[in-house]
Structure 1
Amino acid sequence: MTDEIRQPLEETQEVADAVEDDVAVEAFITGGGKDSDTPEFLAPGEEPVIRTGADQPWDPEDLAEAEGKDPTPENIEKARQELERDGAAAIERTVP
């Protein structure tokens, strides 16, 4: 084992060369589209389009399974009653 003192990585010449290099890396170019680095902003007063789990039709069997229950006749009937009573709120509680 040596008692060599290592220079911090950020102080190496390789890092300095990389910082000075302004060439874009092809693999990192996204084309300027919407992503986590280039978000799309709404105009003032514009409402966002929000999609929820209730935006599509649900069968009682689907709701029973989404709640983690087996699609037995009893569970399907409970899910049917829940959908009939609460409508989209029944789905939103399970699949927001």
Structure 2
Amino acid sequence: MTDQNRQPLEESPEVADAVEDDVAVDAFITGGGPDADNPEFLQPGEEPTVRTGADQPWDPEDLAAAEGRDPTPENVERAREELERDGAAAIERTVP
């Protein structure tokens, strides 16, 4: 087949079949809930429900590891001091 006889891709039967296929993709169906195109708006004065990293208990070993440090005794002690001094703020700085 020469280039002159070649059919444009847009006019091929495969493309026509793909265009005609009007089936919804399950992964893109939100069921009408909030998403990037349909955000959920709060009423004036209403506070959002937000879950943060500090909503769960943290051990000094966990904080040291979350900061990318090996859980050596020195790093664990530093994380323990940071947790005692700063509380949840120490976690929020690392795991918002």
Worse-matched range after superposition: 38-47 or 66-75: 38-47
* TM-fit CA distance, 1:83: 0.4
RMSD: 3.1
Q: After superposition, what is the alpha-carbon deviation per residue over 1:6-39, rounded to whole angstroms, capped at 9, x for unaligned?
A: 8xx7xxxx7xx87xxxx77364443212222322
Percent identical residues: 71
Cross-structure match for 1:25: 24
Worse-matched range after superposition: 29-38 or 66-75: 29-38
Moved segments of 4+, more than 6 Å: none
* TM-fit CA distance, 1:78: 0.6
Q: After superposition, what is the alpha-carbon deviation per residue over 1:39-90, rounded to whole angstroms, capped at 9, x for unaligned?
A: 2111122111121111111000000000100001111011001101111111
Stretches of structure 2 that go unaligned for 5 or more consecutive residues are: 11-15
Q: What TM-score results when the alignment is normalised by the length of structure 2?
A: 0.69
Stretches of structure 1 that go unaligned for 5 or more consecutive residues are: none
Once residues 69 and 82 of structure 1 are traced to their aligned partners in structure 2, the CA distance between those partners, rounded to angstroms, is: 14
Cross-structure match for 2:13: none
